[in-house]
Each structure stands twice: as C-alpha cells, then as structure tokens.
Amino acid sequence: MTACMVAWSCVACSGPQDFMRAANPAARDIASFGWWLLVVFCVAAAIVWLVLAYIALRYDDGSFAAHAPADADEPKRWIVIGGLGIPAVVFLTFFALMFGPMRGSTAHQAGGAAVDIRVIGRQWWFEAEYLGHQVDEAVHVPSELHIPVGRPVDIELETRDVIHSFWIPKLHGKVDLVPGRVNHVRLLADTPGVYRGECAEFCGAQHAHMRIDIVAELPVYFDAWLESQRADAAQPDVDEKVLHGRDVFMASACALCHTVRGTQARGSIGPDLTHVGSRRRIAGGSFENTTANLSAWITDAQSMKPGARMPSLRQLSGPDERALVSYLQSLR
Ligand code: CUA
C-alpha cells in the first residue's frame, strides 16, 4: 500500500499536471500540505506494519491463540491510545492546519472582482468564454484557456449539465461546477508554460477524457492571441480543396451543431470552430489536433470517444472528408 502510494506520488510528480511542483504561491501551500500528509501517512503505515511484523514473529510458535482477551487492561490501553488517541490527534492537527491553505486558496479570494473568463463544463469538454464588452464580442474557446503570466484572472465556473470539477493541479485546488450555481476561482501563473487541467469529478462515461490546457503566456502574447481570437473566421479564397471543404461543412450537419463566426454556421451544441486550426487539441482535449486525428474524429468519433455528442459522419469519408479537414485547418 505504502509502495503504491509512493509510486503513485512519483508518477503524479512529473509533467504538466504535477501538483507537487506548483506554479504559484497558493498552489504551493496546497502542495506542501500534500507532502506533509504523504510523509505522515508513510510513517503511520510503517509503524503499523512494524507492529504487525513484531506480533507475527513473536507469536509464530502458535501461542498467538492464547493472547490476552480484548477486554483486559493492557490490550484496552493499546486500543484507546493507538486506535483512538493518536489518530484523533493526527486528524485534528491536519484539520486545523488545512485552514491555512484554504484561506489562501485562489478559490477563496475570487468572487468579488469582475469576471474575466467564464468556464463552462459540458459532457465532456470545457469551454472558456472570454467576456467582451458586448455579448456578441464573447470569444468561445474549447478545451484551452489562455491567461497572461503574472496577472490574476478571475474565472466564473458554470455547468450546462451534470457536476464537473475544474482542477489545474499546478495552479489551484479543485472547484466544482454545480448545476444552478456559479462558483469562482482566481488563476495566477508565475511562469509561462502549458499547465494541464482535468475534470476532477466523475461526470459520466468519458469523464477521464475531459481535459483543458492552460496556456500561460507573457501579457503581450496573450493580448495578441485574444485579439486574433476576436476576429471572425478566415475566409477561404483560392484553394479549391478548402473552398470545397467549406461547402461540405455548410451543407452537412456540422453547421447545425457548431459555430464558425463570420459564416451562417451558428450551432451551439458542439464547440465553436471559428479558430479550430489554431487549437492544440480536439475532442474535449482528448486528442492532439493533427490531420489524422481530425479526420478520424469527423468520420468515427463514436469509436474514439463513445457516448460523446459528436456523431460518426461516415457518409463524409473520402474526398469530402479530406476537404473538410483542410477547411478546418485553415480556420486559424
Ligand atoms: Cu466532467 Cu468529470
């Protein structure tokens, strides 16, 4: 058990989702609390096992059956001190210490300031909505959240279906997205980088494939990115394959479910595809945005992510599918 916990901790401690190596002060408080929990857990487990080993070795001659009854004074003292007293002290100490990181947590600080971004959870993808001065200025970005480094960003969290949980392990503690309720979190990244986030509340068959990448970049790059995202979709001009792809998109079910700003596609069931060509990942963050994945996602989404609302559009296989992929990739 201890070995499993340590192995798990080591696995968790590498890469963009490593909550033990946090990227801001509030997350660092949570991480150091986590380290203390792990250390105390390992020490407690080691003591329990040593006691068990001692008993097993001492009584391996079969005399164990003749041990003192549990209601004798000596065993009772063991149970009261070791089974109740020490665990109570340990649990109450950690309970009290937990209030420090909780007070400093970014979820606690947020809520009073103006909202910069609304994050919406759906089965099974996150959508970041950058709020403009007017409603029609809002920029919708699926499965990706860009923030400026060194600037606190206040985020409003909502869900359109079941309970989800927004968790960027390197940046903050978990905050749930609860139907009928608006929660808040404040994100602050110290250094540029890509931080991976996951849905942390079981929300159905594809819960494990509900991911969001946080791209923290210097303010000048962030401002340029947001400006580019506010623009309408690029219009194809000469490339015949791209033009054909656009026609396929507008004439098929794609346009009923997805929005491509600047065209007649205004669907709101699936993610906004206005700048899909510039996205890192597709399908709720499940797959990298490559030609092969995009192609497979169009014609065989139900094999890749069974239960997702994206249908498998097998009728588009062949030249239509390749043209469609070219059109989507041109939307940068
Ligand atoms: Cu959304 Cu789990």
Cβ–ligand 1 distance for 212 under 6 Å, the answer no
pLDDT at 135: 56
Residue 122 Cα, ligand 1 centroid: separation in angstroms? 8
pLDDT at 30: 84
Three-state SS string over 205-265 comes to: CCHHHCEEEEEEECHHHHHHHHHHHHCCCCCCCCCHHHHHHHHHHHHCCHHHHCECCCCCC
Residue 311 Cα, ligand 1 centroid: separation in angstroms? 20
Cβ–ligand 1 distance for 207 under 6 Å, the answer yes
Q: 174 burial class (0-12, 13-18, 19+ CB within 10 angstroms)?
A: middle
pTM of the predicted protein model: 0.81
Residue 210 Cα, ligand 1 centroid: separation in angstroms? 6
Residue 162 Cα, ligand 1 centroid: separation in angstroms? 8
Cβ–ligand 1 distance for 210 under 6 Å, the answer yes
Nearest Cα residue to atom 1 of ligand 1:
164
Q: Rounded CA gap, 45 and 2, in Å?
A: 7
pLDDT at 196: 92
Q: Rounded CA gap, 31 and 38, in Å?
A: 10
Residue 204 Cα, ligand 1 centroid: separation in angstroms? 7
Radius of gyration of the chain (CA): 26
Alpha helices in 79-166 (DSSP H): 86-104, 106-109
pLDDT at 204: 94
Atom in ligand 1 nearest the alpha carbon of residue 202: 2
Cβ–ligand 1 distance for 122 under 6 Å, the answer no
pLDDT at 111: 57
pLDDT at 67: 62
Spell out where 117-236 has E strands: 117-122, 125-130, 139-142, 144-148, 153-159, 164-167, 175-177, 183-187, 193-199, 211-217
From first to last of its 332 residues, the chain has per-residue pLDDT tens of 555 555 555 545 557 777 777 778 778 888 888 888 999 999 989 998 998 898 888 776 666 566 666 667 777 888 888 889 998 999 999 899 888 877 766 655 555 566 689 999 999 999 999 986 565 667 899 999 999 998 888 899 999 999 999 999 888 888 999 999 999 888 888 889 999 999 999 999 999 999 999 999 999 999 999 989 988 888 877 888 889 999 999 999 899 999 999 999 989 899 999 999 999 999 999 999 999 999 999 999 999 999 999 999 988 888 889 999 999 999 98
Cβ–ligand 1 distance for 35 under 6 Å, the answer no
pLDDT at 16: 73
Cβ–ligand 1 distance for 209 under 6 Å, the answer no
Residue 8 Cα, ligand 1 centroid: separation in angstroms? 21
